Amino acid sequence: MEVSGYKYTDKAEAIEARKECADFYGLPKTPSDETIYWIDYNEATEDSPIFWYIVFDESIQEILGKPISFTVTDQPIPMKAEKE
């Protein structure tokens, strides 16, 4: 599938980008807050080499900059076992 967003070859870079967005929005508001991140990253496990990415949202463009377009291989949908 075609994705507009931010692509990282190192997981630590994706984690840092997530942190930058949370810091920008002042998250978490309190230590017990359920919302600790504004956005999250995904792992493209079906691609080789594996990479990490964040899907574009207008609310993060000011923080992460202009998004790029790239392809992510969809993960296969597991088949349900047939009942005997």
State the chain's maximal CA–CA distance in angstroms: 55
Q: How far apart are CA 18 and CA 22, in angstroms?
A: 6
- Percent over 70 (pLDDT), the chain: 89
Q: Are 55 and 5 in contact (CB under 8 A)?
A: yes
The reported pTM is 0.84
Average pLDDT over residues 75-81: 59
Q: Are 10 and 54 in contact (CB under 8 A)?
A: no
Name the pLDDT band for 30 (thresholds 50, 70, 90): confident
Name the pLDDT band for 33 (thresholds 50, 70, 90): confident
Name the pLDDT band for 81 (thresholds 50, 70, 90): low
**Domains in the chain: boundaries:** 2-71
Residue 20: closest CA among 50, 41, 46, 34: 41
Residue 7: strand, helix, or coil: strand
Name the pLDDT band for 76 (thresholds 50, 70, 90): low
